[in-house]
Structure 1
Amino acid sequence: MTAYELPKQYNPFDTEAKWQAYWEEQGLFRAASKSSKESYCIMMAPPNVTGSLHMGHAFEKTIADVLIRYHRMKGFNTLWLPGKDHASIAVHTVLERQLRAEGKTRQDLGRSKFLERAWDWKGDSSDRITNQIRKLGASVDWQRERFTLDQGLSKAVIEAFVSMYEDGLIYRGEYLVNWCPASQSAVSDLEVENQETNGHLWHFRYPLTTGDGYLVVATTRPETMLGDTAVAVNPKDDRYQHLIGQTVTLPIMNREIPIVGDEYVDMEFGTGCVKITPAHDFNDFEIGQRHDLPMINVMNKDATINENGGEFAGQDRFVARKNIVAKLDSLGLLDHIEDYVHAVPYSERGKVPIEPFLSMQWFAKTRAIADFAMEQLDQHNSPQIVPERWHKVYRDWLVKIKDWCISRQLWWGHQIPAWYTPEGEIFVAHNETEAKAKAKAKLGREVELVQDEDVLDTWFSSGLWPFSTLGWPEQTEDLETFYPTSVLICGFDIIFFWVARMTMMAGYFTKQMPFKDVYIHGLVRDENNQKMSKTKNNGIDPLVLIDKYGTDALRYALINEVVGAGQDIRLDYNRKTDESSTVESARNFANKLWNASRFVLMNLGDDRPKLPALAELESCDRWILSRFNQTAQMVNQQIPKYGLGEAARTLYGFIWNEFCDYYIELVKPRLQSEDQRSQAIAQGVLLHVLKGTLALLHPYMPHLTEEIWSAVASEAEKPLAIQPYPEAADSLIDSAIDAQFNSIFEAIRVIRNLRAELEIKPSQKIKAVLQGEGDELHPCLAGAAYIKHLARVEELQIVETVPADLGQTMAGVVGTVQVLVPLTGVVDVAQLRQRLEKNLGKLNGNIASLQGRLSNEGYVKKAPAHIVEGARAELEEAKQQAQILTGRLEQLQQMN
């Protein structure tokens, strides 16, 4: 095998590993801190250090890599900065599970030993996700990799906290938070997932203290009634207006609580009376604030009832629930119970229902910094959100934002830089030495300080990600060169929790939005068009598909399925065989290009001919160059505006249909001819288009294209990863030649279709007649040789009048040109009619069967949705085939 040959079959597995190693060893993806080039920067959305690659990761990182590789080839100083998030709760969940298996708790180890264990575990887990990202072909600058707990980012977090505290934007107070009893920590809204649950709605009677009756209240959480401090009614509700200001006696606890009027109460729901537990419900907390109600916490941090729960103290919340219901029933105060389906908030990590819990926490005031972000959006459309429909969602979140609980009762994370005196006075500082100096300056004496035990919410450090990763708070060259970044790529589910926090934090600290664009991608759905989730256990492991089909096939398949910015995509998958028709099609595409490249190389020999002058080109050469440049033009228009799927399909159509199926076939006779000049021209055009095609496709399928490029390009042009991206040459785009070849290819298609319908073997030569008027025939006349070659026509007549001696023919139409295939000596018409009638009978039988199945309401309701849709699609296809056969039979009937 010479240096210019390729193996017979493409092996993605060896090839992909080879090129990934080569690119990194050569430092091709390292960005320059200073450069005269325009910068293009993407910050990788940092995966959790506990994580492993899932299909959402694969999709998101493929999108980013296409953009990064494209802009690198376009000459930008390109940085894709990788990193990982320390994921406080996730790491605690893993390590505490390990400790439980050993019969220990983190308290047994102590904070220092626990953190040592966490760092050791992080090293192993971090390497796993890094290697998986590498396997995707991500062209990141690994030398700049960051971790949200590394020294530089820790410095940034402390600076941010101290600055915000000194500016009055961070405070400490006792408020209601989402509480996970499993991890015994506050959790963010993002770490809470609502699960639809079949539960109950219990209706209890609260006696009026006057003894004149009772009010009926309903609750899904009877255990919280121990902490009730009021019953609320709507002040406009005629049924209860006269009771506002009176009291009821709280059952079991025998505590007198007021009846208050509040417009929050929905008069139409239930009885119109609502029990108010300010310490255990977010809405009740706000009502309690409005009416100055006491807050009684009846739970411990592990969700057992505390001493405020009277006789139920020490009981688990769900045990207490049953006992409270039984007690109220025995007292005659259980009115009735109804089945009730409702959403129960669960801790994503702890896997238990969360509790709204009254707790001393640190909070960040967000109104002021949200207003700046909203001003940038309204006045400057910054950042620009793609697709535009998510603009309103992002803005609404900025409008409705509440103060942010930023503390977590964990050890793994950024320990809050606040120190306390024995009397509880707080000193916030960059370090303990500074805190002691502040304390001495204020108190006039040395004092012992104890640092706050809590750590910051992971989203606090993630909110600084776009600029802390570039060296902030120092004014580094990287920060000057790459900030603001170019685009953030993420799913819609973190618009609220990450995108908005980054824009708020960036606006506050840098007075700029952190990225110019936000590209919101859709979901990867399963073979039944269902959202992938852990609860449904319907995820598809991308590594399984990579091991079966190769990385490039998966990458191309994912992007090719995107029909519009932000749209969900569907990935067909057979769980029994780990096969995917979607990815298999992409692998077939890779093999098509590989085989075409082998053909080109075999016909070049050791020469690398240049593109000939335009005047020397034959018509099919001018056509392929026109189509190539139109493809380059389209792709260069689509990728910058995030039309990645459109660009992928444009490339597919050009490579598969126009280059492989048409042009290569058209030039085969010239490559074998004795006309050396024509042969050389064909070789030059083939090489030029192949190289341009490889460069256009490289951002999508980088390993395949680099491997082929290594065989076709000169040493000075290697590697492909950093070669210029092809620009369209307007002078080579020729609409007239395009129109001419459209007519030629349509004539070929019609003749091929007629051959197939007549069941004429590919090896059998036929006659064909093209009949039309004057100008209509010019393209066919110019392309007669191409039509004969590709349609396997031995004798082609192009005429204005149909010859009288043609005999029986089968006809088709190309525009206004009639295509006729004579049947005499080629087809037995009687036998053909019998075959068509037999096939039509089978089709009609299948149609009747499918129609009967789909008209059965029971089948349509009970069968899985994808089975029903499949049957409908099959019916539609069968009807179309029957229509075609009926038309052919009518044609044959007219011949008699």
Structure 2
Amino acid sequence: MDKTYSPHSIEQRWYNLWEENGYFIARDGVDAENLPGAGSAAPKTDGESYCIMIPPPNVTGSLHMGHAFQDTIMDALIRYHRMKGYSTLWQAGTDHAGIATQMVVERLCNAEGKTRHDYGREAFVDRVWQWKEESGGMITRQLRRMGSSIDWSRERFTMDQGMSEAVQEVFIRLYEEGLIYRGKRLVNWDPVLHTAVSDLEVLSEEENGSMWHIRYPLSNGQGHLIVATTRPETLLGDAAVAIHSGDERYKHLIGEFLQLPLTGRRIPIIADDYVDPEFGTGCVKITPAHDFNDYEVWTRHRDGTALQNQPHGGLINIMTSNASLADHELIPVQYRGLDRFEARKRIVADLEAGGLLEKIADHKLMVPRGDRTGAVIEPFLTDQWYVRVEPLAKPAIEAVENGDIKFVPDNWKNTYFEWMRNIQDWCISRQIWWGHRIPAWYDDQGNIYVGRSEQAIRERHHLPAECSLRQDEDVLDTWFSSALWPFSTLGWPQETPELARHYPTSVLVTGFDIIFFWVARMIMMGLKFRGDVPFREVYIHGLVRDAEGQKMSKSKGNVLDPIDLIDGIDLESLVEKRISGMMQPHLAKKIEQATRKQFPAGIPSFGTDALRFTFASLASTGRDIRFDLARTEGYRNFCNKLWNAARFVLMNTEEDAGSKAITGTEGQGHGLPEAPCRLTQVDRWIVARLNQVIQATTAAIDHYRFDLAAQSLYEFIWNEFCDWYLELAKISLQADDAALQRGARRTLLTVLETALRLAHPIIPFITEEIWQRVAPLAGAKGDTIMLQPYPIADPAQIDEQAVAEINWVMNFVLGVRRIRGEMNIAPGKPLPVLLQNGSAQDLEILNNNRIYLEKMGRLESLRWLRDDEPAPESAIALVGELKILIPMAGLIDKEAELARLDKEIQKIVKDLPRIEGKLNNPAFADKAPAEVIAKEKQKLTELQSLLKNLEEQQRRIRSLA
């Protein structure tokens, strides 16, 4: 092995070999015999299926931290179950990302001085396909960099032929059952894209705005009501003003009419409990065609006489698809054709001129903007296609209630239930060109025909050739095709072997933010079209945030690219990357300064394994994941530690004294050929701990506690194997007893080879590289670690006595080392040790392990005090009731040590008032982020504790003669 651990030199090489040899391919039935890597080391071909469907990333996208985190979890599960003998399938694929992809290609067209309309629909779609083939694979290449053992041979795309057939089949069946319909309802409308968008594509952030208080005169001339609004231009579409039925100020006015400002139209005063009497004036304008809450109020009152007598029943759409005011008979001529914000200015000016503007107040409000255009989203009344979801929701709710689907953590099922029990019909149409075109045609009379093609429709409905048909221009919402993902990727509507083998899938790994948009819809569609749930479990992970708990966003300048963490990036490249293509150029300087301050030397290369281990360590059951680069650096050190430990093992086991390769021996399994091995209590301890760690790690992964699995692996490999066992094993390796040496070598190989398999699902590259060197010596056979069996704990090897005894030894040595550190005694200086208050058991353990205590503690002598023998002034450590005494006389320079301690104490005494003052300062305590305050409090606590310890050391040294 190379002297230095270099992830770049091994990672890409191993991934290519894994993929080229077909190790990622699901091994189903007899076909497994013909796959590379199959054989005795491969999973059993009749193993139970374990399948995960990758949440299909957008074909336009690149890997972000959320993807990398999620894919680490999925890959760990897949590798773990593959090694457990399951027939594993991690289904690959990408989403066509209708709006995002169309925007990318439209920008390319714009750069040529053209629009998509210059191309025409068919040519433009061809252009999108061309872009997809040339540039759409970036994210799949990045997934490979993350070590994702995806079955690339089965890669799917939501617009490929098989997927398109599934989408069309589902649409037609739902339409024929009356579960898909076309209707006019309110949607989120992006006036730049000219299409409806889902709630997930709307970002609402608090912005500074205004609240306009407008006088609405009573029609009887007896005064007015004051109505407050943040969108005064929409008053032209008002259908009513609502008050709370119990509001004593206004209840006598229910049923009266108001004169709608600037229009002369009369609108009724209605009562509805939606109104909060305590908010604003307690009077709310109802504009049902331009506000979702108002639409619900209108729905409750539309059958009443007051609204029935309103034009269009009160449902008045005053805007066009461009978010300008429509050429509508109810809109005064002077406002028609104006952009909504220009119309706002004109209307406010006219209200003020007419004495109808009571006041304008500053107001913070949540403004909905399109996530891709930044345009303010407009609630818009338009004809769209909808899925009638209530009949589909009922069995989907029952599937979770009865345990057919389990959420992990369990509390997320409540979020699911809340939405499903209040579910609204799903708008599935989008006004763009890229996507699955809706299989519906219209004749000149507006009749709708749904079918697989125009020809099929003509034949089914006996339509003559002279009957003109035109296909619907809209495409389906991307979420419609991805709702079919668990079964469409397996070949449905055909009954394929893959479908029979892998459906239902095992687990869905996803974020809580798409429980509504994707998880719920997959459950509904899976039950509807397969009669079974799409997955047995849903593991909901948190969202990755920065170290301060802030959401990662370009505008904040805190976005991290996982590939940059793997490869490293210099400061100038990082700055350029963060400020390029920003939607808010004015923030560029601020982000550049923050980046230079945070990463003055750029980001170092950590490698994939260190990044994956970081993600695993953060995968708890919490909602948010705070990502700190310091942890990644720590896990890079962990990988380096494992590498160096492997080099030590290999150097001590690759050859015996006669330069013969060490091989397994019958009855022994490891060690020198045909020679007995003698195991020490230390050997039995590390094997026992290994089996305990196997139990803990297996249980953690089975319960999706990857943080606990990572913690268990880290503590065992770093602390117990590397820091303790390797040092303790040196004593056996250097002994004159050849059987003792062979026992240590055998244990070194056994533990390391097993630990590599144990850690492989989380850190696949370094474990493969080391395993290839260790496996032949350890008697393991096979071409790759990823097809080796996952370790199974052997309770018979958990020697509790050995564990207790070596824990005693470690605590003894740690006590001595702590005294050295506290008293500033040189690490190499031999120490005389006195013992007091020990039990017979302590004496027995000490006698059994004296060599380890003397070597590891660097002891000059070790003596028990007689019961009547007074102890000299000593530093004391405890192991249970046993006192470890180290006489101080002659070990330290008393005056020099007191001077050193005094210097440290004075520094802390100087720092404490500054921190205490900051925390007691209201300007800091009230305004600083909670994370910053918490750090200052932690710093204060640590300094106070350190001061107490230093003063205690000072007291003890002064007492020395």
Shorter-normalised TM range? over 0.9
- Residue 568 of structure 1: how far off its partner (Å): 2.4
Matches within 5 A, 1:219-238: 219-238=229-248
Match of 1:600 among 637, 649, 656: 649
Task: Give the aligned partner of residue 672 of structure 1.
Answer: 734
Q: Please say if residues 781 and 798 of structure 1, whose CA atoms lie closer than 8 Å, have aligned partners that are also in contact.
A: no
Cα–Cα, structure 1 residues 654 and 205, in superposed 2: closer, same or farther, change >3 Å? same
In structure 2, what is the Cα distance between the partners aligned to 1:728 and 1:528? 39
Task: Give the aligned partner of residue 474 of structure 1.
Answer: 494
Matched, 1:646 2:708: yes
Partner secondary structure for residue 82 of structure 1: strand
- Residue 842 of structure 1: how far off its partner (Å): 2.4
Task: Give the aligned partner of residue 726 of structure 1.
Answer: 791
Matched, 1:303 2:323: yes
- Residue 58 of structure 1: how far off its partner (Å): 0.6
The Cα offsets for residues 619-649 of structure 1, whole Å up to 9 and x where unpaired, read as 1111111001111111111111111110110
Cα–Cα, structure 1 residues 261 and 808, in superposed 2: closer, same or farther, change >3 Å? closer
Cα–Cα, structure 1 residues 425 and 754, in superposed 2: closer, same or farther, change >3 Å? same
Task: Give the aligned partner of residue 849 of structure 1.
Answer: 914
- Give me the TM-score of the superposition, normalised by structure 2: 0.89
Task: Give the aligned partner of residue 124 of structure 1.
Answer: 134
Task: Give the aligned partner of residue 39 of structure 2.
Answer: none
Q: Please say if residues 436 and 449 of structure 1, whose CA atoms lie closer than 8 Å, have aligned partners that are also in contact.
A: no
Matches within 5 A, 1:534-683: 534-547=554-567, 548-562=605-619, 564-572=620-628, 580-604=629-653, 605=655, 606-609=661-664, 610-611=669-670, 616-683=678-745
Q: Please say if residues 217 and 224 of structure 2, whose CA atoms lie closer than 8 Å, have aligned partners that are also in contact.
A: yes
- Residue 751 of structure 1: how far off its partner (Å): 0.3
- Residue 845 of structure 1: how far off its partner (Å): 2.3
- Residue 892 of structure 1: how far off its partner (Å): 2.7
Task: Give the aligned partner of residue 788 of structure 1.
Answer: 854
Q: Please say if residues 24 and 149 of structure 2, whose CA atoms lie closer than 8 Å, have aligned partners that are also in contact.
A: yes
Matches within 5 A, 1:243-392: 243-292=253-302, 293-308=313-328, 309-310=331-332, 311-378=334-401, 380-392=402-414
Task: Give the aligned partner of residue 601 of structure 2.
Answer: none
The Cα offsets for residues 495-527 of structure 1, whole Å up to 9 and x where unpaired, read as 111111111111111121111110111122212
- Higher mean displacement: 669-678 or 236-245: 236-245
In structure 2, what is the Cα distance between the partners aligned to 1:77 and 1:603? 38
Match of 2:553 among 533, 539, 557: 533
Q: Please say if residues 386 and 566 of structure 1, whose CA atoms lie closer than 8 Å, have aligned partners that are also in contact.
A: no
In structure 1, what is the Cα distance between the partners aligned to 2:788 and 2:867? 55
Partner secondary structure for residue 319 of structure 1: helix
Structure 2 gap ranges (5+): 30-44, 303-312, 568-604, 656-660
Q: Please say if residues 768 and 820 of structure 1, whose CA atoms lie closer than 8 Å, have aligned partners that are also in contact.
A: yes
In structure 1, what is the Cα distance between the partners aligned to 2:795 and 2:839? 33
- Higher mean displacement: 18-27 or 257-266: 257-266
- Residue 800 of structure 1: how far off its partner (Å): 5.7
Task: Give the aligned partner of residue 822 of structure 1.
Answer: 887
- Higher mean displacement: 864-873 or 137-146: 864-873
In structure 2, what is the Cα distance between the partners aligned to 1:178 and 1:18? 48
- Higher mean displacement: 788-797 or 835-844: 835-844
Partner secondary structure for residue 3 of structure 2: coil
Cα–Cα, structure 1 residues 802 and 453, in superposed 2: closer, same or farther, change >3 Å? farther
In structure 2, what is the Cα distance between the partners aligned to 1:623 and 1:451? 74
Cα–Cα, structure 1 residues 657 and 802, in superposed 2: closer, same or farther, change >3 Å? farther
The Cα offsets for residues 430-462 of structure 1, whole Å up to 9 and x where unpaired, read as 22221121231xx57762311110000001001
Residue type of the alignment partner of 2:169: E
- Residue 27 of structure 1: how far off its partner (Å): 0.3
Q: Please say if residues 676 and 739 of structure 2, whose CA atoms lie closer than 8 Å, have aligned partners that are also in contact.
A: no
Matched, 1:61 2:71: yes
Task: Give the aligned partner of residue 694 of structure 1.
Answer: 756
Match of 1:773 among 816, 839, 846: 839
Task: Give the aligned partner of residue 709 of structure 1.
Answer: 771
In structure 1, what is the Cα distance between the partners aligned to 2:301 and 2:624? 46
Match of 1:18 among 13, 38, 56: 13
Match of 2:461 among 415, 430, 439: 439
- Residue 862 of structure 1: how far off its partner (Å): 4.9
Residue type of the alignment partner of 1:368: P
Task: Give the aligned partner of residue 217 of structure 2.
Answer: 207
Partner secondary structure for residue 185 of structure 2: strand
In structure 2, what is the Cα distance between the partners aligned to 1:198 and 1:307? 31
Partner secondary structure for residue 608 of structure 1: coil
Task: Give the aligned partner of residue 453 of structure 1.
Answer: 473
- Residue 382 of structure 1: how far off its partner (Å): 2.8
- Higher mean displacement: 254-263 or 233-242: 233-242
- Residue 872 of structure 1: how far off its partner (Å): 2.4
In structure 2, what is the Cα distance between the partners aligned to 1:638 and 1:226? 60
Task: Give the aligned partner of residue 174 of structure 1.
Answer: 184
The Cα offsets for residues 505-563 of structure 1, whole Å up to 9 and x where unpaired, read as 1111112111111011112221222122344332111111111110001000111133x
Q: Please say if residues 777 and 798 of structure 1, whose CA atoms lie closer than 8 Å, have aligned partners that are also in contact.
A: no
- Residue 586 of structure 1: how far off its partner (Å): 0.5
Structure 1 gap ranges (5+): 1-5, 573-579
Cα–Cα, structure 1 residues 853 and 777, in superposed 2: closer, same or farther, change >3 Å? farther
- Residue 567 of structure 1: how far off its partner (Å): 4.2
The Cα offsets for residues 733-755 of structure 1, whole Å up to 9 and x where unpaired, read as 01121111111100000001111
- Residue 261 of structure 1: how far off its partner (Å): 2.7
Matched, 1:240 2:250: yes
Matches within 5 A, 1:42-57: 42-57=52-67
In structure 2, what is the Cα distance between the partners aligned to 1:17 and 1:103? 41
Cα–Cα, structure 1 residues 262 and 811, in superposed 2: closer, same or farther, change >3 Å? closer
Q: Please say if residues 205 and 215 of structure 1, whose CA atoms lie closer than 8 Å, have aligned partners that are also in contact.
A: yes
Residue type of the alignment partner of 2:518: W
Partner secondary structure for residue 153 of structure 2: helix
Residue type of the alignment partner of 1:561: L
Cα–Cα, structure 1 residues 566 and 512, in superposed 2: closer, same or farther, change >3 Å? farther
- Residue 798 of structure 1: how far off its partner (Å): 4.1
Task: Give the aligned partner of residue 306 of structure 2.
Answer: none
Cα–Cα, structure 1 residues 20 and 803, in superposed 2: closer, same or farther, change >3 Å? farther
Task: Give the aligned partner of residue 575 of structure 1.
Answer: none
- Give me the TM-score of the superposition, normalised by structure 1: 0.95
- Residue 894 of structure 1: how far off its partner (Å): 3.8
The Cα offsets for residues 216-245 of structure 1, whole Å up to 9 and x where unpaired, read as 212111111111122222333333333333
- Residue 615 of structure 1: how far off its partner (Å): 8.9
- Higher mean displacement: 794-803 or 71-80: 794-803
Q: Please say if residues 439 and 446 of structure 1, whose CA atoms lie closer than 8 Å, have aligned partners that are also in contact.
A: no
- Residue 50 of structure 1: how far off its partner (Å): 1.3
In structure 1, what is the Cα distance between the partners aligned to 2:443 and 2:704? 55
In structure 2, what is the Cα distance between the partners aligned to 1:174 and 1:868? 52
In structure 2, what is the Cα distance between the partners aligned to 1:260 and 1:614? 95
Q: Please say if residues 325 and 334 of structure 1, whose CA atoms lie closer than 8 Å, have aligned partners that are also in contact.
A: yes
- Residue 803 of structure 1: how far off its partner (Å): 5.1
In structure 2, what is the Cα distance between the partners aligned to 1:108 and 1:559? 50
Q: Please say if residues 560 and 646 of structure 1, whose CA atoms lie closer than 8 Å, have aligned partners that are also in contact.
A: yes
Cα–Cα, structure 1 residues 878 and 691, in superposed 2: closer, same or farther, change >3 Å? same
In structure 2, what is the Cα distance between the partners aligned to 1:362 and 1:113? 25
Matched, 1:462 2:478: no
In structure 2, what is the Cα distance between the partners aligned to 1:851 and 1:788? 45
Q: Please say if residues 526 and 534 of structure 2, whose CA atoms lie closer than 8 Å, have aligned partners that are also in contact.
A: yes
Cα–Cα, structure 1 residues 800 and 725, in superposed 2: closer, same or farther, change >3 Å? farther
In structure 2, what is the Cα distance between the partners aligned to 1:762 and 1:463? 64
Partner secondary structure for residue 603 of structure 1: helix
The Cα offsets for residues 542-599 of structure 1, whole Å up to 9 and x where unpaired, read as 111111110001000111133x324422222xxxxxxx21111000000000000000
Partner secondary structure for residue 854 of structure 1: helix
Residue type of the alignment partner of 1:817: L
Cα–Cα, structure 1 residues 261 and 669, in superposed 2: closer, same or farther, change >3 Å? closer
Residue type of the alignment partner of 1:277: T
In structure 2, what is the Cα distance between the partners aligned to 1:614 and 1:155? 67
